[in-house]
Structure 1
Amino acid sequence: MNRKYIALALASALALPAAAARAETPPPPRIIVTGEGEATVAPDLALLSLSVMREAKTAREALDANNDAMAAVIAAMKSAGVEDRDLQTAGIQIAPRYNYTNKPDGTQTAELVAYQVTNTLSVRIRDVAKTGEILDKSVSLGVNQGGGITFANDNPSKVIAEARKRAVADAIDKAKVLAAAAGVSLGRVLEIADQSYAPPPMPMQAKSFDSAAGAAPVAAGENSYKVQVNVTFEMKN
């Protein structure tokens, strides 16, 4: 047999027991814990969803009335310091409105009485302190539906980083307690898996507005950002 083939066969035969030994070696004992961290920050964005609804005998008349009202609302937003990039039309809906009359035979007759046009505007307010003022002004100029208010943060990366630090510190504390209770020593970190979680911004809802109700008190509160990390530690006897 060729000496080259003999050498290769011998090397393979010697490697097989070593590979089998490695495969049979059990993994080192480990401690696996989940750490949780939370950090809060005041919101720096208010997100509004405002709608203008107008009704008229024809769709054209309803749309014209709606356009005039929404144009006034947008102008007021801009005069209050809201930038063009923070104003976005979220949808325009045109729908007929009917009156239904029940007949003796159980059927109904439908009479077209008007058309309704609803224009919805999404607004980002970067000066949260102005939220109530802007909301009041928009209602006085024609907003009569919507009213969803959400408080958010433009860039929460720093507060999330702080929550991560607290989550890792929490995991280390838990692992130390477990190791001490088991009578073993805590070794090096083998693995960290991040499970960041940022809850939805805080919502505030109002289904309708009364333009004569006066100023709307708005409380922004704080946004809470939570992080979970799974940490695997080496366990030493």
Structure 2
Amino acid sequence: MFQLPISRQMSAPSRGLAAGLGALVLASALAMTPARADGERSPAPAMITISGEGTATLVPDAAVLTLSVVTPGDNAPEALDANSRQLTAIVEKLKAAGLDERDLQTSGFSINPRYADRRDNPDAPLKIIGYEVRNGLSVRVRDLTRLSGVLDEVVKAGANEMGGISFQVSDREAALNDARKAAVKDARAKAELYAQAAGVRLGRLVMISEMGSGSGPVPMFKAEMAMMRADVPVQAGEESLSASVTLQFELVQD
């Protein structure tokens, strides 16, 4: 039996559809390849993507002191009254020392029962023998030269528990920008090194992206209240800020 070739068996509409699809695929392929002046298509330029890191250090200029007044009492009202008197005395001392009210903030408050010791008789029922009031205060000291004296004042006024001291920096943005500049410089230097080793050179910068920025560990100072004196040594140390960027360059073959 005689058969026509498959191409001849296709209907006219089918042949038109196939031709259209072929033209579309060819046009898409050409569109993805840059054109040269002579009409030929040139390959996409080679790229290099590289990351850089930058850091900046700065000295803290403020501190936040976290303290508490813990007061026992035979009953809750008695413990609360005693605690309030102690905390009020602390606040007044701090204001008299020149601290602003905006730098004083309550950081926690609780009233809890105190129970009789049952170590000798674990099966004995719980027995409340009094109450304990805990009232916390956060104190921001904006002049670090006064921090040692503030510690002495709060202890003398009745603070009997110390949460710690965290050091802070008032203006971080300028130092963070320095870290960003250093990160860009680091990334570019790496890209130039790789390009030179590969026998090419850097072309135009086509992408820059910040991967994140932040600070290193914040120095922390802790001490027992019994050790607090006017000459308490306090070291603020330094804070480290870091930035990370990614750059992408075209590579040019000489």
TM-score strictly above 0.5: yes
Over 3 Å counting, the alpha-carbon distance change for 1:129 and 1:90 in structure 2 is same
Tell whether the 8 Å contact from 2:54 to 2:186 is kept in structure 1 after alignment: yes
Question: What one-letter code is carried by the residue in structure 1 that aligns with 2:60?
Answer: P
Correspondent of 1:61 among 74, 78, 95: 78
Task: Please report the TM-score for the alignment, with normalisation by the length of structure 2.
Answer: 0.81
Offset at residue 177 of structure 1 (A): 1.0
Question: What one-letter code is carried by the residue in structure 2 that aligns with 1:22?
Answer: A
Over 3 Å counting, the alpha-carbon distance change for 1:33 and 1:108 in structure 2 is farther
Listed as ranges, the matches of 1:224-235 within 5 Å are 224-235=240-251
User: Match of 2:186?
Assistant: 170
Correspondent of 2:28 among 16, 19, 27: 19
Pick the structure with greater CA Rg: 2
User: Match of 2:59?
Assistant: 42
Tell whether the 8 Å contact from 1:100 to 1:108 is kept in structure 2 after alignment: no
More strand by proportion, 1 or 2? Answer: 1
Name the stretch that deviates more: 25-34 or 213-222: 25-34
Offset at residue 30 of structure 1 (A): 1.5
Task: Please report the TM-score for the alignment, with normalisation by the length of structure 1.
Answer: 0.86
User: Match of 1:77?
Assistant: 94
Offset at residue 110 of structure 1 (A): 2.1
Offset at residue 21 of structure 1 (A): 2.2
Offset at residue 27 of structure 1 (A): 4.9
Tell whether the 8 Å contact from 1:43 to 1:220 is kept in structure 2 after alignment: yes
Unaligned runs of 5+ in 1: 1-11
Tell whether the 8 Å contact from 2:148 to 2:230 is kept in structure 1 after alignment: no
User: Match of 1:5?
Assistant: none
Question: What one-letter code is carried by the residue in structure 2 that aligns with 1:53?
Answer: V
Unaligned runs of 5+ in 2: 1-20, 35-42
Over 3 Å counting, the alpha-carbon distance change for 1:27 and 1:52 in structure 2 is farther
Tell whether the 8 Å contact from 1:33 to 1:231 is kept in structure 2 after alignment: yes
User: Match of 2:7?
Assistant: none
Number of residue pairs matched? 226
CA distance in 2, matches of 1:102, 1:50: 31
Offset at residue 211 of structure 1 (A): 6.5
CA distance in 2, matches of 1:43, 1:74: 24
CA distance in 2, matches of 1:228, 1:19: 37
Correspondent of 1:89 among 81, 106, 109: 106
User: Match of 1:107?
Assistant: 123
Tell whether the 8 Å contact from 1:147 to 1:209 is kept in structure 2 after alignment: no
Question: What one-letter code is carried by the residue in structure 2 that aligns with 1:37?
Answer: G
Correspondent of 2:174 among 146, 149, 158: 158
Offset at residue 224 of structure 1 (A): 1.1
2:205 matches 1:189 = yes
**1:143-195 deviations in Å (ceiling 9; x for gaps):** 11123101111221101111111111111111111111111111121111112
Offset at residue 103 of structure 1 (A): 7.2
Offset at residue 68 of structure 1 (A): 0.6
Identity of aligned residues (%): 38
User: Match of 2:12?
Assistant: none
Offset at residue 231 of structure 1 (A): 1.2
CA distance in 1, matches of 2:26, 2:214: 47
Offset at residue 57 of structure 1 (A): 0.4
Offset at residue 111 of structure 1 (A): 2.3
CA distance in 2, matches of 1:62, 1:151: 33
Offset at residue 34 of structure 1 (A): 1.3
Over 3 Å counting, the alpha-carbon distance change for 1:75 and 1:103 in structure 2 is closer
Name the stretch that deviates more: 32-41 or 106-115: 106-115
